[in-house]
């Protein structure tokens, strides 16, 4: 990703808007009694567009802001989201995204990974309560919601960050019409 | 050049991972810190505005969910409809009164709240996005007299307690959170126990460590016990409704000393809550 002050401003706006939208909207709606989780989808899409570095930094920033606004111990959400962003970025660097199904499928898989990660962090910090089997259903449903949200968010971010994307610039250069002699 | 890039990436990754662990270690169990208070002060007004602006959209999505849910309960609801119709006329008048009374009495529960508490009404402005945490952020904080460990209720019953405060907002840990434990008693038996969550299912709480000699029955009400021992006392005042016993098999009571309780408050759909500030806790 080519970073300019303008692109940096856009990235900050994406992170802030994403967290605010999650807390004020997505966390407070329920479909089949489960709230969609936009933030892993946002971080994964950033990783898919910009690579590991973008994924990791976005994941860390989103996590810190989320923990600050929820007054949670800092670092837990960051750790999980930066891991999701890193894995998405790694996929982008190692493989080609051939099919339109790849981003939503990755969003689904890595969102489930992130939800399990949040659970692992909780266990690490000491959970002293019974865990209902319904939590598995909730995690899977969050994965399905991530699949649905994945494609529009990926496309939206790609549009917003187009000037900074290395691949898109290369494609645009190759598509430039040949100069015909006068 | 490529190797240098790879090394830089790895360094950033390692730095952020180590940073996350360090932050987690420093801030775990220490309540709110300066950074959180600063960020919260900046974002609280924005969150309040966003919360209000997005309410119609949220209501629309929730309406779909509730409609789907209601279809499955159609037959049971039909039988309840007749009773509800009779009550609806009275309810309409009560609703109009309610709006005025809410302003006047600030959700005072008329005797349920012991004297010495100064109820502060707040609105939920954010809630945790993952299924593992059960906490919400409300738009009142230390500026309004809210303190850590203050009990939080809504019109139906106990919701949770304040776990962190900033000037203009507070984090409320719900009774469905894994870290929650509330001493409760079954009325009228006065069987005491500890209300524990069933993580992942906010509609099911467990009243644990009950006296297996006294048998609890389905439909009985659970309220806060509000114990006091010399200089220390419970965070929760006595007799705040918590929920209703839904499952109380004798085998489970005798073997595991526990029964299942459905909370009166809908913990998935909280809007207005009341913090019982100013209690005299030791």
Report yes or no: B207 and B186 within 8 Å, Cβ to Cβ: yes
What ipTM is given for this predicted complex?
0.78
Interface touch B268/A33, C-beta < 8 Å:
yes
What CATH number should be reported for the domain holding residue A57?
Answer: 1.10.1760
Three-class SS state of A55: helix
Report yes or no: A21 and A54 within 8 Å, Cβ to Cβ: no
Residues 6+ apart with CB under 8 A from B139: B44, B47, B48, B122, B123, B125, B168, B169
Please give the average per-residue pLDDT across B44-61, as a whole number.
86
pLDDT at B104: 41
Task: Say what the alpha-carbon torsion angle B213, B214, B217, B220 is, to the nearest 10 degrees.
Answer: -150
Chain B positions touching A57 (Cβ under 8 A) are 12, 16
Instruction: Indicate the average pLDDT of chain B.
Output: 81
A175 in any annotated domain: no
Range 51-80 of B in CB contact (< 8 A) with A: 51, 54, 57-58, 61-62, 64-65, 68-69
pLDDT at B138: 92
B40 to chain A, any CB pair closer than 8 A? The answer is yes
Class of domain B33-72+106-282 (CATH, top level): mainly beta
Interface touch A56/B12, C-beta < 8 Å:
yes
Best of B14, B123, B132 to disrupt the A interface (most A CBs within 10 Å) is: B132
What does the alpha-carbon distance between residue A154 and residue A107 come to, in Å, rounded to a whole number?
9
pLDDT at A173: 56
Chain A positions touching B204 (Cβ under 8 A) are 132
Among partner residues B62, B69, B206, which is closest to A29 by beta-carbon distance? Answer: B62
Low-confidence winner among A26-30, A118-122, B28-32, B61-65 (lowest mean pLDDT): B28-32
A173 in any annotated domain: no
Interface touch B163/A71, C-beta < 8 Å:
yes
The secondary structure of chain A in percent helix, strand, coil, rounded to multiples of 5, reads 75, 0, 20
Chain B positions touching A28 (Cβ under 8 A) are 58, 124, 127
Write down the domain spans for chain B. 33-72+106-282
Interface touch A115/B127, C-beta < 8 Å:
no
- Tell me whether residue B141 is exposed, middle or buried, using C-beta atoms within 10 angstroms of its C-beta: 0 to 12, 13 to 18, 19 or more: buried
pLDDT at A49: 92
Please give the average per-residue pLDDT across B146-174, as a whole number.
90
A179 in any annotated domain: no
A93 in any annotated domain: yes
Interface touch A30/B62, C-beta < 8 Å:
yes
What does the alpha-carbon distance between residue B148 and residue B161 come to, in Å, rounded to a whole number?
8
Q: Helices marked H in A25-131 — which ranges?
A: 38-50, 52-70, 76-94, 102-125
Task: Say what the alpha-carbon torsion angle A122, A127, A132, A134 is, to the nearest 10 degrees.
Answer: -10
Low-confidence winner among A96-110, A157-171, B181-195 (lowest mean pLDDT): A157-171
A99 to chain B, any CB pair closer than 8 A? The answer is no
> Does residue B192 carry a pLDDT above 70?
yes
pLDDT band, residue B191 (cuts 50/70/90): confident
Q: How many CA atoms lie within 13 A of A93 on its CB side?
A: 19
- Phi first, then psi: give them for residue B242, nearest 5 degrees: -105, -50
A90 in any annotated domain: yes
A115 to chain B, any CB pair closer than 8 A? The answer is yes
What does the alpha-carbon distance between residue B230 and residue B232 come to, in Å, rounded to a whole number?
6
pLDDT tens-place string over residues B199-235: 778 888 999 888 877 888 888 889 998 876 666 677 8
Q: Smallest Cα–Cα separation from B47: which of B142, B168, B153?
A: B168
Report yes or no: B13 and A52 within 8 Å, Cβ to Cβ: yes
Token pair listed for B63: 């309406």
Q: How far is B131 from chain A (nearest CA, A)?
A: 7
B10 to chain A, any CB pair closer than 8 A? The answer is no
Total domains, chain A:
1
pLDDT at B58: 86
Chain A positions touching B69 (Cβ under 8 A) are 33
B28 to chain A, any CB pair closer than 8 A? The answer is yes
Alpha-carbon distance values, B145 to B78, B149, B236, B272 (Å): 45, 12, 17, 17
Q: How far is A14 from chain B (nearest CA, A)?
A: 15
Among partner residues B12, B17, B170, which is closest to A79 by beta-carbon distance? Answer: B17
Report yes or no: A74 and A61 within 8 Å, Cβ to Cβ: no
Residue A64 domain boundaries: 5-164
Among partner residues B20, B61, B199, which is closest to A31 by beta-carbon distance? Answer: B61
pLDDT at A182: 44
A39: nearest CA in chain B?
Answer: B129
pLDDT band, residue A174 (cuts 50/70/90): low
pLDDT at A160: 92
Cβ atoms within 10 Å, residue B97: 9
Q: Smallest Cα–Cα separation from B173: which of B121, B222, B120, B132?
A: B132
DSSP tag of A178: P
Please give the average per-residue pLDDT across B69-77, as a whole number.
72
Please give the average per-residue pLDDT across B235-240, as a whole number.
85
Range 210-249 of B in CB contact (< 8 A) with A: none
> Does residue B250 carry a pLDDT above 90?
no
A138 to chain B, any CB pair closer than 8 A? The answer is yes
pLDDT band, residue B282 (cuts 50/70/90): very low
Low-confidence winner among A11-25, B227-241, B266-280 (lowest mean pLDDT): B227-241
Q: Which residue has the tokens 């960020």?
A: B39
């Amino acid at each position: 990703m080519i970073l300019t002050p303008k692109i940096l401003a856009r990235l900050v706006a994406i992170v802030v808007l994403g967290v605010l939208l999650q807390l004020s909207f997505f966390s407070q709606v329920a479909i089949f009694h489960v709230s969609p989780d936009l933030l892993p989808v946002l971080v994964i899409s950033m990783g898919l567009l910009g690579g590991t570095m973008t994924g990791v930094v976005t994941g860390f920033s989103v996590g810190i802001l989320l923990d600050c606004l929820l007054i949670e111990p800092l670092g837990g959400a960051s750790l999980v989201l930066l891991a999701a962003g890193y894995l998405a970025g790694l996929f982008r660097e190692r493989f080609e995204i051939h099919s339109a199904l790849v981003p939503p499928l990755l969003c689904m898989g890595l969102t489930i990974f992130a939800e399990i990660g949040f659970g692992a962090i909780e266990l690490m910090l000491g959970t002293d309560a019974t865990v209902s089997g319904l939590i598995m259903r909730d995690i899977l449903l969050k994965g399905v919601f991530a699949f649905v949200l994945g494609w529009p968010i990926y496309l939206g971010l790609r549009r917003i960050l187009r000037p900074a994307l290395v691949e898109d610039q290369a494609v645009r250069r190759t598509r430039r019409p040949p100069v015909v002699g006068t | 050049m490529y190797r240098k890039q790879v090394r830089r990436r790895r360094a950033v990754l390692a730095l952020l991972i180590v940073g996350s662990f360090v932050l987690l270690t420093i801030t775990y169990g220490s309540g709110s810190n300066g950074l959180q208070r600063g960020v919260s002060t900046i974002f609280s007004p924005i969150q309040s505005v966003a919360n209000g602006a997005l309410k119609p959209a949220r209501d629309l999505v929730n309406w779909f969910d509730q409609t789907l849910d209601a279809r499955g309960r159609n037959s049971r609801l039909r039988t309840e409809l007749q009773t509800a119709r009779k009550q609806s006329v009275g309810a309409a008048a009560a609703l109009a009164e309610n709006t005025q009374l809410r302003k006047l009495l600030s959700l005072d529960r008329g005797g349920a709240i012991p004297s010495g508490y100064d109820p502060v009404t707040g609105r939920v402005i954010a809630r945790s996005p993952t299924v593992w945490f059960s906490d919400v952020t409300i738009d009142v904080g230390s500026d309004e007299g809210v303190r850590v460990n203050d009990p939080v209720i809504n019109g139906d019953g106990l919701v949770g307690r304040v776990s962190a405060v900033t000037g203009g907002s507070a984090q409320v840990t719900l009774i469905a959170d894994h870290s929650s434990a509330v001493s409760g008693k079954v009325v009228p038996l006065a069987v005491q126990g500890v209300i524990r969550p069933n993580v992942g299912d906010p509609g099911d709480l467990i009243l644990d460590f009950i006296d297996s000699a006294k048998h609890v029955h389905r439909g009985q009400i659970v309220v806060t016990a509000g114990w006091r021992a010399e200089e220390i006392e419970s965070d929760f005042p006595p007799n705040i409704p918590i929920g209703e016993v839904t499952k109380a098999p004798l085998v489970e009571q005798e073997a595991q000393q526990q029964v299942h309780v459905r909370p009166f408050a809908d913990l998935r759909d909280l809007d207005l809550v009341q913090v019982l500030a100013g209690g005299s806790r030791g």
